[in-house]
Structure 1
Amino acid sequence: MATPVINIGFSLNLIDDLEAPLSDRISLIEKPIPNLKPGEVLVKMLSAPINPSDLVYLMGKYGLPPVDGAFVGFEGCGIVVAANAGLYGKWLSGKRVALSATPGKDGVWAQYAITKANYCLPVRKEISDEQASTIIVNPCTSVCLVERAIELGAKAIVINAAASQVGKGVIRYAKMQGVKTIATVRSQANVDVLKKLGADKVILTSTESFQSELKQASKKLKATVLLDAVADVDTPKTMSCMPSGSTGIVYGRLTETQDPIGGQFSVADVIFKNQKIEGFWLATYIGNAKPWQVLSLSKKVQKLFAEGIFQTDIYGQFSFADFPKALEHYAVHKSDGKVILTPHA
């Protein structure tokens, strides 16, 4: 097909008002498609989800500084329609891929996306466009977090915000690896869901007995790794219930704090209980990994999807016209499932 010259998508509006609706932070714009730089490919987008990291980015709190006027959206699925990336780019041409946006560049909530060729992973035919659009950020994070916990010698893992897609992926994959899981959630509705998924213990954070239950479960199951997507006061509160020598792996910040850093930890527990805190960001992992390591991770995750072990919950698919309203829904009801943009609908 002829290479398109115009692209339509959602760009970022920089707004200082922290109370402004998320839908006010994006605008549908039209702009020319630039020439591909060496190492880049052009992808016709088929599907793109909203992730919590997208929401944080829209609010200007993400690790990457927001770029006014740039398209937003961190991951998706599409077909490579042009390439300037050597033999790998030629091999990718015409293939359906899962892709990540190049950090600091245009995102993928658009009809077309430009990204680096090594941020594209060919997708198995058994996986739908909607599921394929979600296989990088959350499932790859779930697998990496569990494997890091195993490296740290954990027999059990504590997961906060466990009803998230990453949390559900962790529960599924940890069970496969023989690692027990303690899930903490805010809503009673998610308790039975996570138990059926395979969590060994599910605890409501809203109960008065939360900390005593977590302390007892952590001791019984020997839970020495926390997978923390909330940050702020949740990190020290949860870690205080875990054994000496435990490690907290912070991979997100769902807290509503306005603090630009948004993280806290207990100095006393670090000193006297020898607890440690480390971070995980998939972009850093992929950036530092060898190509064979990224492909191996992709094959592992896609196999889990193809076998039905991993499955992303989908709330609905939306055109450009309906997407802003769906964005607001997702911001409040993340556990309902992913909101998917279909830019050519």
Structure 2
Amino acid sequence: MKAIEFHEFGALADVLQLVEKPTPTAGAGEVLVRLTARSINPSDVYTIQGTYGVRPSLPAVPGNEAAGVIEALGEGVTGWSVGDRVILMLGAVGTEGTWREYAVVKPQFLVPTPAALSDAQAACTWVNYLTAWIMSDELELQPDEPVLVTAGASHLGRAMLQLAAVRGFKVVATVRKAEQAQALLDAGALGVITHPGDDLAARWKEITGQKGIAKAIDAVAGETGTAVFNAMAPYGQMIVYGLLSNQPIQIDGRIIFSEATIRGFWLGRWLNRQTPQVLGKLIADVSAMFADGRLAPHVDTTVALDDLAGIVRVATESGAGKVVITG
């Protein structure tokens, strides 16, 4: 089978290779899935570069999210059939990676693909939507309450807008390019702030009528994250889940006057802390919303698994949007 692999950490163009690996077989209690779509997330890029929170043993295949079709059932597997469309849950492949043609997984790590979703959409269901869902829960967002979401044009930013439509809270998004604003307004954003560029605190007050930001979710850090934190209201809460700028948030002594809080969020660590009962309900709730169309992943760009140059290009360019590896 074909797979994308790296033998050292570094720039994607320098370390990724298209290789042939033995096609695995399903053992007892296992399922062989022919993968047809795999999401590219920032965490995948950071892992290849060696800057993510954990480093895999090398050589390694990148990727965590994927969807496909059941190719074979191992002895003793029930409840599934060859030909079933499935989504791999996070962690389904362990450290094996999903940027490959086939994967062997335990059946408990599979979820039926809703008929409403294409395989490409199905490959984008977990990382961003679970992150958006959990962070909105942890911020205890209420109906009509505004929350600032940086990188609003990202896949997670759009997931937050879809979730806001379901739960009733309001999203004020930041974007780097002013031309991205109208699409977010059309998707339900209460307002859009271009940053760098706009006076973030002033625009927040103009949009919401509130002097300070009570709740914020940041994927950027750096200059934008710093501006968000400096605009926080007394006792404001800010969750940082990304580092798109690769720059630090600067916090000065004025934090003593706001008593605002800032903390990180890492989906993998959060999932590891939960009981099977909590995870089961979370997955069931999110899956139901995919099935009835309340949540619908948007895919901007697709690239074939055997197009290594194309994968490198779209994984590293800022304008590619949500990218899925197909084939």
Same fold by TM-score, threshold 0.5 exceeded? yes
Q: Which residue of 2 aligns with 1:203?
A: 193
C-alpha distance 43-225 of structure 1, shift in aligned 2 (>3 A):
same
Q: Which residue of 2 aligns with 1:332?
A: 317
Shift of 1:190: 0.9
C-alpha distance 275-180 of structure 1, shift in aligned 2 (>3 A):
same
Matches within 5 A, 1:68-83: 68-81=58-71
* Residue-by-residue CA offset, 1:248-278 (whole Å, 9 max, x unaligned): 1111111144xxxxx4352525433111122
C-alpha distance 254-40 of structure 1, shift in aligned 2 (>3 A):
farther
1:300 aligned to 2:274?
no
* Residue-by-residue CA offset, 1:58-84 (whole Å, 9 max, x unaligned): 211111214321111110102344567
Residue type of the alignment partner of 2:272: G
Matches within 5 A, 1:164-179: 164-179=154-169
1:61 aligned to 2:51?
yes
* Residue-by-residue CA offset, 1:172-230 (whole Å, 9 max, x unaligned): 21232221211111011111011111111101103253343235546528742211111
Q: Which residue of 2 aligns with 1:10?
A: 4
**1 CA distance for matches of 2:160 and 2:102?**
32
**2 CA distance for matches of 1:209 and 1:202?**
12
Q: Which residue of 2 aligns with 1:226?
A: 216
Shift of 1:165: 0.8
SS of aligned partner of 1:9: strand
Shift of 1:52: 1.7
C-alpha distance 212-162 of structure 1, shift in aligned 2 (>3 A):
same
1:272 aligned to 2:228?
no
Matches within 5 A, 1:1-345: 7-16=1-10, 20=11, 22-32=12-22, 41-81=31-71, 90-92=78-80, 94=82, 95-99=84-88, 100-102=90-92, 105-115=95-105, 117-150=107-140, 155-214=145-204, 216-217=206-207, 220=210, 223-257=213-247, 263-334=248-319, 336-343=320-327
C-alpha distance 160-232 of structure 1, shift in aligned 2 (>3 A):
same
C-alpha distance 79-101 of structure 1, shift in aligned 2 (>3 A):
farther
Residue type of the alignment partner of 2:162: R
SS of aligned partner of 1:298: helix
SS of aligned partner of 2:245: coil
* Residue-by-residue CA offset, 1:86-112 (whole Å, 9 max, x unaligned): 7xx533464432113458611001011
Q: Which has the higher mean CA deviation after the structures are superposed, 232-241 or 42-51?
A: 232-241
Residue type of the alignment partner of 1:331: T
Q: Which has the higher mean CA deviation after the structures are superposed, 121-130 or 188-197?
A: 121-130
Report the TM-score when normalising by structure 2. 0.86
Identity of aligned pairs, percent? 28
Native 8 Å contact 1:106 1:114 kept in 2: no
User: Any stretches of 5+ residues in structure 1 without a counterpart?
Assistant: 1-6, 258-262
Report the TM-score when normalising by structure 1. 0.82
Residue type of the alignment partner of 2:167: Q
**1 CA distance for matches of 2:128 and 2:155?**
6
Native 8 Å contact 1:215 1:242 kept in 2: no
C-alpha distance 179-256 of structure 1, shift in aligned 2 (>3 A):
same
Q: How many residues align?
A: 325
Native 8 Å contact 1:11 1:71 kept in 2: yes
Residue type of the alignment partner of 1:212: A
SS of aligned partner of 1:14: coil
SS of aligned partner of 1:220: coil
Native 8 Å contact 1:13 1:24 kept in 2: no
Shift of 1:324: 3.1
Residue type of the alignment partner of 1:9: A
Native 8 Å contact 2:3 2:101 kept in 1: yes
C-alpha distance 265-209 of structure 1, shift in aligned 2 (>3 A):
closer
SS of aligned partner of 1:309: coil
**2 CA distance for matches of 1:37 and 1:252?**
38
User: Any stretches of 5+ residues in structure 2 without a counterpart?
Assistant: none
**2 CA distance for matches of 1:329 and 1:137?**
19
